Amino acid sequence: MYPQLTADDFWWFYLALESYNGLFEDTKIVYQWITFTDTATSGAEEPFTLGCKVTVGTETDYEIQYFSQNSTQGQLLFPNSTDVIGQTWSTQAADYMEESGDILWEAGSTYATDAPASTKYNSTNRACYFAKRLQKLGRNPNDFNHNYSVDIGARIYDNSTATTFTEISTQTETLAQGEPASYVVAEVAVETGAISSFIYSMAAAVTALFVLSF
């Protein structure tokens, strides 16, 4: 009778790079990544990283990766990591990469708000979308209200077989995860989900935007 009582929620976000057209030639690979490190002093969850690639000129051929890490591997996907140097975008940190069928996150903008189109002259905002399905029933409250230090970066590869890249500087921010709105009987509670956005310059002609929301 009340679909909202059992409908899934989604924890979603996108990473986006805005650049002048022609700065990155068609068929180049734009790879964006974000590492979440729980800052709790006790009972912290292990760090994890999500990465996504799109191809310039195609823009929507999203492929996402999930990397499981331990507390000493927070910089696993950093550009100076030995697990990144000399690897293609798809083979980096292979020992820590989850199989595609085991990833709980989904690519694409089905459950996310579209990243804004570029308002700059002759520019494109290239976004990757991530969404994690959160079942309403049987939800574990310990999965929410984490405080994270997040490292966000990107790199540009000439093609899918390239093992060298152009680095977009890594940025570090903090994030309070929050929790999705809860439901009481058939009445929707008016709690606010977590919404955080960081806008920053990553290079002279590139801007990155990170938005996370329930």
Instruction: Give residue-wise pLDDT tens across range 102-112.
Output: 888 888 888 88
Query: For residue 57, what are the CA distances in angstroms to 64, 104, 115?
Result: 18, 28, 17
Predicted confidence at residue 197, as pLDDT, reads 31
Domain boundaries, the chain: 3-213
**Ranges under pLDDT 50 in the chain:** 1-2, 183-208, 212-214
3-state helix, strand, coil in the chain (%, to 5): 5, 45, 50
Segments of 39-113 assigned E as strands: 48-55, 63-68, 105-107
Helix intervals (H) in 60-141 = none
The string of pLDDT tens digits covering residues 171-195 is 999 988 888 766 443 333 333 333 3
DSSP one-letter code for 97: B
As a whole number of angstroms, the distance between CA 112 and CA 136 comes to 18
